[in-house]
Structure 1
Amino acid sequence: MSTDSDSDHPTIFDTTTCIRKGLCPVSSIRNKDDPLESHSLYFEQHGTGPEKIIFIMGLNSSSFAWEWQVEYFPQIADYSVLVFDNRGVGNSGAPRGPYTTSGMAEDAIALLNYVGWTEHRDLHVVGVSLGGMIAQELASRIPERIISLTLGVTTAGGWPWSNLPPWKGLSTLARLTFISDPEVKIPMILEMAFPVEWLDSKAEDDTQGRTNREIITVVYRRRIQLTRPQKFVGHVSQMVAGLTHYVSPDRLRQISKNIPKILILTGDDDHLVRPSGSVHLKEHMPEAEFVQWEKTGHAIHMQHVKRFNGLLERVFAEGKQHAPSSD
């Protein structure tokens, strides 16, 4: 079933696994009288399995960044996948800002309710970067619906200045704000999101002998061609959401107690979110599993696709095992 025509919203994903796509009318569901909340969320649902996964993307990136996860999980009979564009990016609306991670989490809840994913202990949540911040807020609001929570390359936040990226990431983000030419933007994005050593290495399993940089450049070029240009208000407002994000140690401990399985995943060469943010999460989420990969940058789900997807499968299975049958 589709709520909007494919021609209105061209997709990067495999259309053969798509069972529903379109716009979720967040404003009508939540508060139609508030002009600040006048927006809809673009979403796609892939696969028909009983295991439900919602993927939440990070700063100024559309759901197309989950390409290799949407390619993988719906092919396994157990899984259904829900991806969406956060407010302010892609095919979703860009209401007046600034945005907050709590408001963006409320968007995700409206979408989950809209597609009928409302059952008890029926949901695997995966968020990276800003998406991991949104996932924390989501887990504070609907913990009883979540089986597993994966927090990738993210932070609990704090004072706005403590949420600033390292200098390389901050300076690159500032320059990208005013650059529209994809051929100028892509090299900057790559060196911000991936380790240079990895980019210049030969890609595994590539029959053409290309480097990772060559392959990822093609991926980003195609993604940009199919993604609606981001409005300035969306770009800045999402950045404000990241800078103002904060989940207290008490709230982190509560999330940790309430969700059967939590994974905290980070790299060691991240120019956008310091790995110390993940260490802080683990300090206040004692039940969570902490994993750090060496020579790994911010785009962890793209740099190590097979490893990332395999880790998620294990986390999903352990979440089911840990969830009390009478919970």
Structure 2
Amino acid sequence: MASESEPLLQRSPDMSQYPTMFDPQSLVRKGFCPVHAGAPPLETHSLYYEQHGTGEKHVLLINGLNTNSFGWDFQVKSLAPTYSMLVFDNRGCGYSGYPAGRYTTSGMAEDIIVLLDHIGWTSLRQIHVVGASLGGMIAQELALRISSRIASLTLCVTTPGGMPWQNFPPFKGIQFLTTLLLTKEPEQKVPTVLKMLYPFAWLEENAANDPQQRTNRQVQTESYLRRVLFSPKQRIIGHVSQLAAALTHYVSPDKLRRISEAIPKVVILCGDEDSLVDLRHSRDLKASMPEAEFIQWKHTGHGIHSQRPTEFRDLLVRIFHEADTTQIIDVMTQ
């Protein structure tokens, strides 16, 4: 088991085959965490992970559907100087393995617990968990299992789930996902990906603080194609299996209430122009999590942390601070 007292960079001889898109200067360690199952336990797959930064506060970022960890580029770059940032590829995507059998959000949450134990993040109220889309579903299951280890929980553009037919995205989202499944080349996927994640009007605007004065469409196209270069092509089985996990996800109102009561700070974040997750799902989360803070950003699509990266980062900093302040107050009043 790796621990934080071990050498800063954990590399097996073949790790050079797995280049990182993140800043190598902030890289603390990267590698593969073996995941076992059965009796006797046998390794079923492994999770690729990277830690950036050495801050006392620990942040876990959980990716969305069929998205590798490099989608958190801005958040890792901007937060690693202050926090310890942990990113990883979910099973069936990126550098991680493709285990046989059905994928579920509960099983993917169990993967994360193995990873956290592997790197030694086991203390009480140590981890700030951020999950987007499918990552938010996995984060709910994770919170059910290790709520005492979580300091804050941020659920972005996600859903508590229900029966599979209730979990289907709006019709436009179904069209987008089907098109992507049937499209082979990354360059051909770009127009569909952008329409799926971002509002049309925003894509046509000039990107903020871009020295080349490009549009958001141009910037996001370049960003997407750059991520593709740093990761193997996802197999169809991974695409379908992750989608199946999303469609079968369900955390009951009673369980959500328990999460809301147990974790010092919970935030539900959504946009008002989401093509993949209906806004009513975020409202359903809030209805079952009365202590949670509910935030809806205007003119914002499903790709919320990449459409509004600076606002997203600033929100996370506030959430982490308020969670830690709440814990201090709780200790003082005991």
Shared fold (TM-score, shorter chain, > 0.5): yes
Is 2:48 aligned against 1:39?
A: no
Q: CA distance change for structure 1 residues 32 and 234 in 2, over 3 Å: closer, same or farther? A: farther
What residue number does 1:128 align with?
A: 132
Other-structure match for 1:201: 205
Task: Name the CA distance, whole Å, in 2 between partners of 1:139 and 1:217.
Answer: 34
Question: Structure 1 residues 257 and 299, CA, compared in 2 at 3 Å: closer, same or farther?
Answer: same
2:281 maps to 1:272: no
What does residue 219 of structure 1 align with?
223
User: Where in structure 2 are the equivalents of 1:250-265 lying within 5 Å?
Assistant: 250-265=254-269
Task: Report the counterpart of residue 23 of structure 1 in structure 2.
Answer: 32
- The equivalent residue for 1:9 is 18
RMSD of Structure 2 on Structure 1 (CA): 1.3
- What SS class does the counterpart of residue 251 from structure 1 fall into? helix
SS at match of 1:39: strand
Shift of 1:318: 0.5
CA distance in 2, matches of 1:173, 1:34: 35
Matched, 1:57 2:63: yes
Displaced runs of 4 or more, over 6 A: none
Contact 1:98/1:238, CA 8 A, preserved across alignment:
no
Residue of structure 1 in register with 2:5 after alignment: none
Structure 2 residue aligned with 1:236: 240
What is the deviation of 1:185? 0.2
Q: Give unpaired runs (5+ residues) of structure 2.
A: 1-8
- Mapped to 2, the partners of 1:209 and 1:154 lie a distance apart of 32
- The letter for the 2-side match of 1:3 is R
Q: Equivalents in 2 of 1:175, 1:183: separation in Å?
A: 13
Once the two structures are superposed, what CA deviation does each residue of 1:193-216 show, in whole Å capped at 9, x if it has no partner?
000110110111111111000001
Equivalent runs, 1:1-327 vs 2, <5 Å: 1-4=9-12, 5-27=14-36, 30-31=37-38, 33=40, 38-76=44-82, 79-323=83-327, 324-325=330-331
Partner deviation per Cα, 1:161-218 (whole Å, 9 max, x = no partner): 0100111111111121121111110111011000011011011111111100000100
* SS of residue matched to 2:237: helix
- Deviation of 1:33 after TM superposition, in Å, equals 4.6
Q: CA deviation at 1:19?
A: 0.8
Q: How many Å apart are 1:97 and its aligned residue?
A: 3.0
For residues 121 and 262 of structure 1, what CA distance do their matches in structure 2 show? 13
Distance in 1 separating the partners of 2:105 and 2:153: 16
* 1:316 aligned partner, one-letter code: F
Residue correspondences, number? 322
Could you say what secondary structure the match of 1:256 adopts?
helix
Moved more, 249-258 or 162-171: 162-171
Q: What per-residue deviation string (whole Å, max 9, x for no partner) do you get for residues 238-271 of structure 1?
A: 0000000000000000000000000000000001
Report the CA distance between 1:7 and its aligned residue.
1.8
How far apart, in 2, do the equivalents of 1:181 and 1:242 lie?
Answer: 24
Give the superposition deviation at 1:34: 6.3
Partner Cα separation in structure 1 for residue 216 and residue 30 of structure 2: 31
CA distance in 1 between counterparts of 2:20 and 2:80 reads: 16
Percent identity, aligned pairs only?
53
Q: Is contact 2:179-2:192 (8 Å) kept?
A: no
The C-alpha deviation readout for 1:275-325, integer Å capped at 9, x for no partner, is: 111100000100000000000000100000000000000000011111222
For residues 286 and 190 of structure 2, the distance between their equivalents in structure 1, rounded to whole angstroms, comes to 33
Distance 1:57 1:208 in 2: 29
> Residue 16 of structure 1 aligns to a residue in which SS?
helix
AA aligned to 1:7 is S
Do 1:97 and 1:234's aligned partners in 2 also have CA atoms closer than 8 Å?
A: no
Q: Distance in 2 between matches of 1:32 and 1:129?
A: 33
5+ residue gaps, structure 1? none
CA distance in structure 2 between the partners assigned to 1:33 and 1:242 by the alignment: 29
**CA-CA distance at 1:2 after TM superposition:** 1.9
